[in-house]
Structure 1
Amino acid sequence: MTDRAWTGVILAGGQSSRMGRDKALIELDGRTMLDRTIALLRPHVREILVIGDPTKYTLHNAMVVPDEQPDKGPLGGIVTAMKRARYVRVLVLACDMPAINDRLLVHLKRELDRDGDVALPDTSP
């Protein structure tokens, strides 16, 4: 892990129209997807922002920020996060990615620290 200060961002907006209920609040092994993602990010960042509806989430370990562009999809949430982040380095995750693990976050941060502005995992075969 690096010494740089990072903001962790969790995108938890959207209508959940395909799922039929809020994906962030779906439980997996007794914890909500949102709680799992916060716990995953916590060791890697100094600040966590959850971009979503503040009336839906009561969190003591992250700040819930309303999406300034709610009808612009995930990119609108990222724009909101970039405006609100206290730190230059920002690590963005969606709330519904239970397969993401600590090893991937370490790898992404290392790649950015080497010499990058953006790091995206390549999941192609």
Structure 2
Amino acid sequence: MQKITGLVLAGGRSSRMGTNKALLEINGETLLNRAVRLLELSGCKEVFISGDYYGQRSVPDRAQLGPLAGIAAGLEVCKTEKLLILPVDMPYMTSELLQLLMRFAFAGNGISYADAQFPLLLLNNDANREILAGLLAPETPANQRSMHQFCHAALIIELPISPKYQYCFENTNTPAEWQLCQRRLNETVPKVIGAAARRQESESP
């Protein structure tokens, strides 16, 4: 597998959540640390964080204009051919889905899953940097400064995904969504532990 740099988008204001969602915890692990761990498990050579976090490999974006500015800052420090971008607020994402994206051969500036802007695998090239610079320019209207516009301009390829994995792409932006996330995880973890215990019993002599 080619060497790929990881980037966690965690520079948002979390205004809808009312608190910094990057520091919310699942089983004692913050969403920020979880996102970093997923990128590392997926095989990223190094992982940066878009945002200002003490003790982390932070890459503060100068423009403070949402995910586009974070991506632009990530490309500035990226030393590998590709940059894998994961928002901090995707608690259901898996390393398996990230690895599939990383291994898929594509021709173009980047690739994501169908109907999901993230995770996003981008080529570290001049074309992507120029598109981002244009969208982040002061003269660009705010309603045109979006991920949709970037993906359209960069001709991002979309990889089909089975409906059973659609939940993995859900975001957690509000207290209600966070409560739902915790309930889902609390329901899932005991099932996983129970299945593992049953396998262990069946394999015992």
**TM-score (ref. length: structure 1):** 0.85
User: Which residue does 1:26 correspond to in 2?
Assistant: 24
Higher normalized strand content (fraction of residues): 1
Q: Which runs of 5+ in 2 are unaligned?
A: 117-162, 164-205
Partners of 1:10 and 1:50 lie apart in 2 by: 5
| Count of aligned pairs | 115
Partners of 1:123 and 1:106 lie apart in 2 by: 18
Q: Which amino acid in structure 1 is aligned with residue 44 of structure 2?
A: V
3-state SS in 1 of match to 2:110:
coil
Task: Verify: 1:94 aligned to 2:87, yes or no.
Answer: yes
Task: Verify: 1:58 aligned to 2:58, yes or no.
Answer: no
Deviations 1:65-99 (A, max 9, x none): 111211x1111100111111111210000011111
Match runs of 1:63-74 below 5 Å: 63-70=57-64, 72-74=65-67
Identity %: 37
What is the Cα deviation at residue 121 of structure 1?
A: 1.1
User: Which residue does 1:16 correspond to in 2?
Assistant: 14
Q: Which runs of 5+ in 1 are unaligned?
A: none
What is the Cα deviation at residue 122 of structure 1?
A: 1.6
Q: Structure 1 runs of 4+ off > 6 angstroms?
A: none
Answer with 1 or 2: which has the greater Rg: 2
Match of 2:112 among 108, 114, 120: 120
Task: Verify: 1:82 aligned to 2:75, yes or no.
Answer: yes
Q: Which amino acid in structure 2 is aligned with residue 93 of structure 1?
A: L
Higher normalized helix content (fraction of residues): 2
Q: Which has the higher contact order (CA 8 A, sep 6+)?
A: 1
Give the RMSD, CA atoms, in angstroms.
Answer: 1.5
User: Which residue does 2:185 correspond to in 1?
Assistant: none
